[in-house]
C-alpha cells in the first residue's frame, strides 16, 4: 500500500477557495447585476403556459432582493419573504381573459404573431418634407412657406386699421406712427423668432435694444419705439365683427391666421409611421379667457395646446387650442374629440397614434380601427377607467 502524502496548509486553503468559487452562483453575473442584487430573471417567456395562482412550497422560500438603500435603512430585518409570483413585474392569471366593467375582454397572455406585418400597420409613404420643399436650403425661403404672403397681407390689413385708430391719440405724427408693410411685418416676426432662438424673449424692449446687453442685432432691424408701437397695434382680425363671434369662439382674434398656419404645417410635411398626440402649456400671463393654471407644469400659467407631432422628428403637424368650457366637442368626450380632430389629415393611412391616459379609451381605440380612420392606438389607461 503506497504511503499517503500529507497536504500542506497552503494546499488545503487553495482547494477550499476553488470549491467556494465553483459553488457560488453569483460569480457568473456581471458587475451591474451583482450591484443591483439581481440574481435570477423570473420573467416568463411569452409562449410559456400561464401558471396558476397556487405556487409550490419551494417558491415561498425565495425572497425578493432588496436594493442597497433599503439594506442601509434597516428594511431587511422587517421585510417578510415574498413569493416569486409577486416579485415579477408581469402579473399572471389562471384564466385566459379578463372582463372589465364595460364588458370589454382583455387577453392575459400575448398572442402568437407571424413574421409578416399586419395590413393595418403598413404605411406606404416616407417621413420628411413635402416634395416642393425638399430642394430648399435657404432658411428665409423655407420660412416663407409657413408665413405666406396671404397671411402677411391679412396682418398688414388689420394692423394698419389699428394704427389709424391709435394715430388719433397723437398730436404730432412721426415715422413711428406710419403705416406698416409686409416687409416690416416680416422683419418684426424675424425679431420675435430671433429672441426665442437666443433665449432673449424674457428681456424687456429696453434691454433688447440696448447695445450693451444685446449688441446691434435688433437695433439694426428697427428702432425700439417702432417695435413697441407695432406690437401694440398688431392685429389679426376685424375688430368690428369680433364682439359678435367672441361669444361662440373665444379664439376669434387669431382664429383665421391660426388656421392658415396649421394648413401650411400639414401641407409642408409628410409624417412617418408613428405620431404622438399630447398637450403643451405655452407660458402666458396676459389677459385671456381660456388661460389655464396647471400647478404641476413649469410655467403654471399659460395657453394649453393639444398637438399632434411626428414621433421621429418632433415636427408639429397639427394643433388645436384648448378653450376650456367653450370647446364645442359635438357631444364627444374631450379626449376623443381632440384625437379625431388632430389626426384628421392622416385618416386612412394605417399610422399608429401614441397618447397618454387623458386621451386613451377603449371606445376610441375601436373607432380608430374602423373606416374612415384606419389608425392603431397605443396608450395607457387610468385605473378607474371603465375599460
Model pLDDT, residue 327: 86
| pLDDT score at 89 | 65
CA proximity to 178, closest of 238, 235, 236, 230: 230
**Residue 144: which residues within 8 A CB-CB, separation 6 or more?**
none
The confidence score (pLDDT) of residue 6 equals 59
Show the DSSP H helices in the chain as ranges.
Answer: 9-23, 31-35, 68-72, 75-78, 84-87, 139-143, 149-166, 182-197, 205-208, 211-214, 224-233, 242-246, 252-267, 334-342, 362-369
pLDDT given at position 26: 41
Is the preceding omega at residue 108 within 30 degrees of 0, hence cis? Answer: no
Q: Judge whether 142 and 134 are in contact, CB under 8 Å.
A: no
Residue 1: predicted pLDDT: 46
Terminal-residue alpha carbon distance, the chain:
82
Q: How far apart are CA 123 and CA 312, in angstroms?
A: 15
Distances (CA, A) of 78 to 64, 66, 346, 353: 13, 12, 55, 45
| H or E segment to which residue 367 belongs | helix 362-369
pLDDT at residue number 303: 93
Q: What is the pLDDT along the chain (387 residues), one digit of tens a residue?
A: 444 555 566 776 676 666 555 544 444 333 333 333 333 233 333 333 444 444 444 444 434 344 444 444 444 444 344 444 445 566 778 888 888 888 888 888 877 777 787 887 888 888 999 988 998 999 999 999 999 999 999 999 999 999 999 988 888 888 899 999 999 999 999 999 999 999 998 899 999 999 998 899 999 999 999 999 999 999 999 988 888 888 888 999 999 999 999 999 999 999 999 999 999 999 888 888 889 998 988 889 999 999 999 999 999 999 999 998 888 888 899 999 999 999 999 999 999 999 999 999 999 999 999 989 999 999 998 888 888
CB 139 within 8 A of CB 365: no
Amino acid at each position: 500500500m503506497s504511503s499517503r502524502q500529507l497536504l500542506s496548509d497552503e494546499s488545503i486553503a487553495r482547494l477550499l477557495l476553488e470549491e467556494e468559487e465553483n459553488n457560488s452562483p453569483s460569480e457568473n453575473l456581471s458587475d451591474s447585476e451583482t450591484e443591483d442584487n439581481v440574481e435570477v430573471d423570473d420573467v416568463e417567456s411569452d409562449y410559456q403556459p400561464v401558471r396558476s395562482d397556487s405556487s409550490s412550497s419551494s417558491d415561498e422560500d425565495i425572497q425578493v432582493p432588496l436594493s442597497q438603500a433599503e439594506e442601509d435603512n434597516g428594511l431587511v430585518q422587517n421585510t417578510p419573504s415574498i413569493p416569486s409570483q409577486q416579485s415579477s413585474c408581469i402579473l399572471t392569471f389562471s384564466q385566459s381573459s379578463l372582463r372589465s366593467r364595460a364588458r370589454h375582454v382583455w387577453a392575459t397572455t400575448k398572442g402568437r404573431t407571424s413574421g409578416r406585418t399586419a395590413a393595418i400597420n403598413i404605411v406606404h409613404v416616407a417621413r420628411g418634407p413635402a416634395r416642393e420643399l425638399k430642394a430648399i436650403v435657404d432658411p428665409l425661403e423655407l420660412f416663407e412657406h409657413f408665413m405666406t404672403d396671404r397671411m402677411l397681407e391679412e396682418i398688414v390689413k388689420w394692423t394698419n386699421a389699428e394704427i389709424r385708430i391709435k394715430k388719433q391719440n397723437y398730436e404730432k405724427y412721426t415715422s413711428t406712427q406710419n403705416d406698416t408693410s409686409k416687409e416690416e411685418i416680416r422683419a418684426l416676426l424675424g425679431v420675435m423668432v430671433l429672441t426665442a432662438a437666443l433665449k432673449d424673449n424674457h428681456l424687456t424692449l429696453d434691454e433688447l435694444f440696448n447695445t450693451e446687453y444685446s449688441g446691434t442685432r435688433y437695433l439694426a432691424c428697427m428702432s425700439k419705439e417702432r417695435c413697441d408701437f407695432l406690437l401694440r397695434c398688431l392685429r389679426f382680425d376685424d375688430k368690428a365683427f369680433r364682439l359678435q363671434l367672441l361669444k361662440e369662439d373665444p379664439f376669434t382674434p387669431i382664429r383665421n391666421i391660426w388656421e392658415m398656419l396649421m394648413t401650411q404645417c400639414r401641407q409642408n410635411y409628410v409624417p412617418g409611421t408613428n405620431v404622438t398626440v399630447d398637450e403643451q402649456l405655452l407660458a402666458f400671463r396676459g389677459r385671456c379667457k381660456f388661460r389655464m393654471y396647471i400647478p404641476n407644469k413649469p410655467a403654471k400659467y399659460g395657453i394649453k395646446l393639444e398637438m399632434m407631432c411626428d414621433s421621429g422628428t418632433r415636427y408639429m403637424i397639427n394643433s388645436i387650442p384648448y378653450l376650456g368650457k367653450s370647446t364645442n366637442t359635438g357631444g364627444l368626450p374631450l379626449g376623443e374629440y381632440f384625437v379625431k380632430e388632430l389626426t384628421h389629415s392622416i385618416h386612412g393611412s394605417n399610422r399608429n397614434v401614441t397618447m397618454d391616459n387623458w386621451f386613451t379609451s377603449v371606445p376610441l381605440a375601436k373607432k380608430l380601427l374602423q373606416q374612415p380612420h384606419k389608425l392603431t392606438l397605443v396608450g395607457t389607461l387610468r385605473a378607474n377607467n371603465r375599460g
